[in-house]
């Protein structure tokens, strides 16, 4: 009967909401734990190095001071990412819109990563056609930068990263595909969450605090666009961004 069906649907909806809340709570707890860990490790490294130098156990060599400087750089990067995320997720975020060619922007990002690409013997190809959207150039640059940075980070030496731009009637589509380590099926739904990282030990060695994809998604949504990902472990990832032209 209709009433029974309505009660069943309501019960299912309540159960689904409870599961969502439970998942969000678990993510919040992990976020707090991960932020603490991300900051604690470099701070502990700097403290132990400086303590050993002050007590005369270690000589203040250039290498040891450089190590301290690098660790402080990691802390600075984490704080910088958190600040970017706060600004982007601010309800009052104002986009400074202007005509932006996603093909040109992709080429600019490609040039910015020349050294990193050479280090890992990676090829990065930009293809497609000019596609102009009304958007915030700095923020869209951040999206492409973050995605290419991830592609480089998780690619194996000698691989290829492809950036393709498609100009459609009402939208522009940007596709970034790599031949890297890929993402497992269970991790895919969560990769845009703050601080979520698929392989924590691997990610900590590679650097970064897992905020890049969160920032990318927030910017794309602010432009009324969408971002999706397809990936298979061991075969790489494919991110697709679609942004309306107007």
For residues 80 and 49, the model is more confident at 49
pTM equals: 0.68
Dihedral sign for Cα 90, 95, 100, 105, please: negative
- What CATH number is associated with residue 229? 3.30.565.10
What average pLDDT does the structure give for the chain?
82
- What CATH number is associated with residue 63? 1.10.287.130
| 121 and 77 in a common domain | no
Residue 208 pLDDT exceeds 50: no
Rounded CA-CA distance 142/109 in Å is 9
Domain that holds residue 109: 97-244
The pLDDT score that the predictor gives to residue 67 is 87
The pLDDT score that the predictor gives to residue 202 is 43
| 113 and 11 in a common domain | no
The pLDDT score that the predictor gives to residue 27 is 55
The pLDDT score that the predictor gives to residue 9 is 80
What's the total number of domains in the chain? Answer: 2
In tens, the pLDDT along 44-56 reads 888 988 999 999 9
| 145 and 234 in a common domain | yes
| 206 and 156 in a common domain | yes
Residue 243 pLDDT exceeds 70: yes
Alpha helices in the chain (DSSP H): 2-54, 62-89, 102-112, 114-119, 137-153, 200-206, 212-222
Rounded CA-CA distance 98/56 in Å is 57
Give 31's pLDDT tier (boundaries 50, 70, 90): low
Q: Among 61-75, 87-101, 220-234, where is mean pLDDT lowest?
A: 87-101
What is the arrangement of strands in the sheet containing 226-232, beginning at the earlier edge strand? 123-128, 160-167, 171-177, 236-244, 226-232
In tens, the pLDDT along 156-207 reads 888 899 999 999 989 999 999 998 888 877 777 767 776 655 554 444 444 4
Give 241's pLDDT tier (boundaries 50, 70, 90): very high
| 113 and 71 in a common domain | no
Residue 6 pLDDT exceeds 60: yes
For residues 13 and 105, the model is more confident at 105
Give the residue among 13, 31, 41 at the shortest CA–CA distance from 201: 41
The last residue of one of the domains, among 89, 112, 133, is 89
| 175 and 54 in a common domain | no
Question: In sequence order, what DSSP letters do the residues of 71-90 get, joined into one string?
Answer: HHHHHHHHHHHHHHHHHHH-
The SS3 assignment for 123 reads strand
| 231 and 122 in a common domain | yes
CB 65 within 8 A of CB 73: no
Give the residue among 149, 122, 144 at the shortest CA–CA distance from 207: 149
| 215 and 104 in a common domain | yes
CB 134 within 8 A of CB 99: yes
Q: Which residues pair with 172 in a beta bridge?
A: 167, 243
| 56 and 104 in a common domain | no
Q: CB under 8 Å to 146, separation ≥6 — which residues? A: 212, 213, 215, 216
Percent of the chain with pLDDT over 70: 83
For residues 209 and 150, the model is more confident at 150
Residue 100 pLDDT exceeds 80: yes
The pLDDT score that the predictor gives to residue 29 is 64
Residue 119 pLDDT exceeds 80: yes
In tens, the pLDDT along 128-149 reads 999 999 999 988 998 999 899 8
Q: Which residues pair with 205 in a beta bridge?
A: none
């Amino acid at each position: 009967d209709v009433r029974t069906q309505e009660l069943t649907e309501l019960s299912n909806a309540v159960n689904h909401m409870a599961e969502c809340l439970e998942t969000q709570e678990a993510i919040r707890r992990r976020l707090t734990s991960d932020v603490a860990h991300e900051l604690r490790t470099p701070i502990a490294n700097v403290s132990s190095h400086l303590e050993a130098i002050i007590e005369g156990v270690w000589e203040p060599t250039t290498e040891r001071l450089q190590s301290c400087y690098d660790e402080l750089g990691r802390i600075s990067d984490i704080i910088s990412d958190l600040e970017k995320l706060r600004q982007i997720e601010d309800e009052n975020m104002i986009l400074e819109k202007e005509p932006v060619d996603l093909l040109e922007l992709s080429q600019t990002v490609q040039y910015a990563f020349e050294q990193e690409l050479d280090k890992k013997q990676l090829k990065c190809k930009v293809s497609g056609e000019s596609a102009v959207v009304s958007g915030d150039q700095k923020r869209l640059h951040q999206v492409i930068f973050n995605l290419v940075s991830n592609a480089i980070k998780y690619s194996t030496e000698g691989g290829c990263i492809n950036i393709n731009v498609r100009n459609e009637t009402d939208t522009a589509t940007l596709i970034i595909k790599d031949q890297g380590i890929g993402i497992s099926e269970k991790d895919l739904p969560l990769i845009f969450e703050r601080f979520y990282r698929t392989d924590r030990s691997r990610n900590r060695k590679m650097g970064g605090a897992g905020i890049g994809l969160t920032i990318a998604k927030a910017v794309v949504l602010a432009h009324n666009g969408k971002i999706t990902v397809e990936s298979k472990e061991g075969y790489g990832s494919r991110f697709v961004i679609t942004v309306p032209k107007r």
